[in-house]
Structure formats: C-alpha cells, structure tokens
Structure 1
C-alpha cells in the first residue's frame, strides 16, 4: 500500500506582523529541504488564530498588508491542519513543533499524536486514517534514549553564533529573555544552553532569564552585578519577536526588562528579532523533523 507523507509545523503563533518573519523562515527552510513534501504550519493559540480570522475578513487590513501570505490568514489548529491533509490522502505525518523545550504545549502535542495513532476501524487495519505520525523534538531536546539532549543543546548554542557576534560587536553581555514555565521544569535546559554558549564564546557573557518560572530576571541582574557588567544586548529567546518582545522585554513600562535593567545601572541595546529569523536556528527544526521521520520509518520526499 502506498503511503503519502506530509509535514506540519506547530507554532504558538503571533499577531505582530513583523514577527511573522521567524515563522515563515522556518517553513521556507523546511520546504527547501523537502520540496516534494507538503509543508503546512498551524497555530496552537486560539486567541491568535481568531485575531487572524478577524483580519482576514477586513478588506482594508489585507490591502494594507499585501506581504502577509494567505496561509497566515487561513491558519488553523494542529488537528484541523492534520485533518485537511488526511482528507487529501496523506496518512503519514511528521508533526514538528517550534518549541524551545519540553513544556506544556509540547506535551499537549504528544497527546494529540497518541490519540490520532489509536484511531482505527473495526474491519481492516489498512483502513485506519493514519499509517504513522511522528513528533519531532523541541530545539533544546527531550528526554529519551534516541537523541541525547546535550547534543541538541550544543547544536543550538552553535546555531546562535551570530547572536554572540552581535553582542561582541556591541561590546555587551548577551542577555536572553526566554518564556519559561511555572509548572514544568525547563530551567535546566536554558541554563545549560547559556553555559554552552559561554564555553563556545568565552569573550561574551551570556545569561538567560525567563518571563515565567526559573531563572527570573532578578537572577540575571545579580549575576551582571557580580561580574561588573554594565552594558547588555537584550534579545528574546523565543521563536518570534512578538508581544513579549514588544512589551515585556523592550516596552516603555516600568516593569519591562529594558526598564528594570536600566534602573539597575545597565545600558541596554535591544535586538528585536526572533530565533526563527536565524537561518542556522531554523535549520534545527528541519533536522529534527528529518530525524523524527527516520525514527518512525516515514519517507519524506526531498
């Protein structure tokens, strides 16, 4: 029996037009690697999808933003995107998240995959809606015996060489603002990534703090003071430079990271670009999708 494969890139999404560059860059890299395999993306955020649906129904908005692809206006949930592909005859799906770590949203995708694979028919196994579905790893890896997470973290650190160079040129420490999570222990991955970057780029002080969970911004500030650093390059450690970047990181409010750092004696240089805009970082997800397909025995048409 012939099996047809496709790739779905799962993203939280963004409503910030300029931040779409990170999302589209990942899709472009995936399509370039697998030109004969359908590559779709889906947004996991209900709020963001509804915002794009509203914009799609606004002729004036669409006229003002001809640069936004139709696929963004028509973006669907992960399950709806997979269902569309199944309806078109694709029974082997690689679901590649663009998450940084194994947090809540990544684990939710795992439940989707498990549930879809359990779907069957009473009569014959070959009539199951899906032959195989594989879930790719997040950027900083996951637990398991197939792919050591430390290797994923090292690959991510190498992919961020351009950020280290940016900080070096600015004669500043590199301070990342990650999202983090208050309910899932992801801090170790962030801290190990920062350590790997300090090892690879010893002339650049690299620190990571999170909006939620550990380590908080206060830890970053304490470390900057301990090291006597007074100039920082502030950059989002997120796939897109969306709302968190515009407001929480670099906004004019007193509690933005930029404002708090300045109150603590730092000169702050802001780099408002997401990780997805870095070609080498976007390629990590292309690699992870390919390895997930290989592990599951799914053939992707290059």
Structure 2
C-alpha cells in the first residue's frame, strides 16, 4: 500500500511503479516448471514399461563341476483348473450269507443265524421210530450254541419217553475247523457223559465237500453216556445196571464223508467210518450210509438218509427223514 501511495503522489515515478508491478506478476520459467520431486502417473507407467537390460557376465566354474539344478527334473506346476480327484468311499463289507450249497457251508453257523430241525429215523427190524428235536444258534464268530432233545421212541415193546438233553458248544477256529463239546444228560434217572470233537469241513471247488472229526471221543461221567437220538439205547443200559452188568465207559468214533453238489439246491452225501465201543477194537462197529439233501428254499433243508448204524448188524438198517429251517 505504501508503494501505491508513493506512485500516486509523483506521476512519473508512477509509470515506473506500474511497469515494475506488471513485471513482478509475470511468472518466471523456473516457477512454471513442476516440482522435481513430484512424478506424474504417466511418467511412472513409462518407467515400468522400460525393460532393464544387463550384460551377461560369464562365470568361471571348476572343470567338470555341474551347476546346481542342471540335473534336476522340473516338476510341472499344478493346474488350478484341473478337476478335483474323486475318492471312492468304501463302506463296511457286505454281510456274509449262509450258502445254500451244502458243500460250501462252513463248519458252524454264521453269527446271528438260527436253525431249528427235526430228525425221525425209521428202523425195519424190529420196526421202530425215534424223533429228535434240535436247535442251534451262531452267537459270535467263534461260538455256536446248540440244544438237542430226544422226544420219544416207539417199537414193538411200546413207547419210550426220551428225557435226554444234549448241550452242544462249538467254537469255530476258521470256516473249516472247530472245537466241539457236547454234554448228553439223561434227566430221569440221571446219567451224563462228555463228548469231544474237532469237526473239519473242506470244499474242493463248488461241487465237492469233505467232512470229518465230529464226536470223536465220548466218556461217561455218571453211570453211562446217554444216547440223545435213540431212547431205546438208554432203556437197555438202565436195564443192564439193574442186573449189575458192566456198561460201556465210552467210545471212539472216526466218521467222515464226502458231499457232491449236483445242483445249488441238491446234494448227495456218503458217510462211513469206525466206532469202538468201550474203547475196544474187537467190538468195532462200521456205520455206512448215504443222504440226499434238497433245499427248496434258501432257508429250508429236507433230507433223507438210508444206511446202517452198524454194517455187521442188519437190524440197524433204517431210513431217516430230516428237516431244518434257518431263521
């Protein structure tokens, strides 16, 4: 403001002041330039596009030395767009099914399978019939429990009540071998025995089966070894004890056989062996017979056996009918 007042008081100097003021308002070239520290976005883009070039400098390596990584096989990068690998989930194995084919059946029932059966042997001379009810159940993989009951026997001398119970315990070791314990008990009057066995069951292909080892040895525990299947035998042993006659202490049984599977639901069986009553070979018996088994349903068996309890005794010839249903 002081400069303007001075210029107004003196006209000539006022012209000089106006010229100086106009010259002061004209920007200088240095001021028109941008701040060197401020870089525009365009300049940054141009710098990014520039390719840095380096001069290759050879490296001296010892003779025969292979550079690191020269022998490595590069692994291709993972393709992110590749579909994910499908992993099939495997569930628990399907449950085992008890075979319809007689030749393929294991030595004992599968766990959870129950079977109920009835056997009725018919003898020719003298005419007689006996009936035995049996049941067994697969408890676990290595345990099968069974129960047999001799219901009744009838012959020319009349009927005989069974009153005999057989407790069967089978411990399968594998599908083809097991340990067996049977306890036959006569309820009235009391008599008891023990029977041990090692049942074996093999199959050759799908048509042939072999079995052996059931009821190998029987030993009396009290009085005599009761017969579960034929109450007439027990009646004879009781009569012998009443007359102070010595009765058998037990017996050895070596019985085996072969199964031929004609069709999946039809099989024939031939069985035979040697039995030594009272553990003496001079009175050995030779059982021999054949059985036809037909399974009209997967859980139902019908069987008929023709043969001898002792080949040397014609009175032991008979025909046995049997039926078994699995639940």
Same fold per superposition (TM over 0.5): no
TM score, norm. by length of structure 2: 0.23
Structure with the bigger RCO (C-alpha within 8 Å, sep 6+) is 1
Determine which structure has the larger helix proportion and give its number.
1
Query: Which has the higher Rg, Structure 1 or Structure 2?
Result: 2
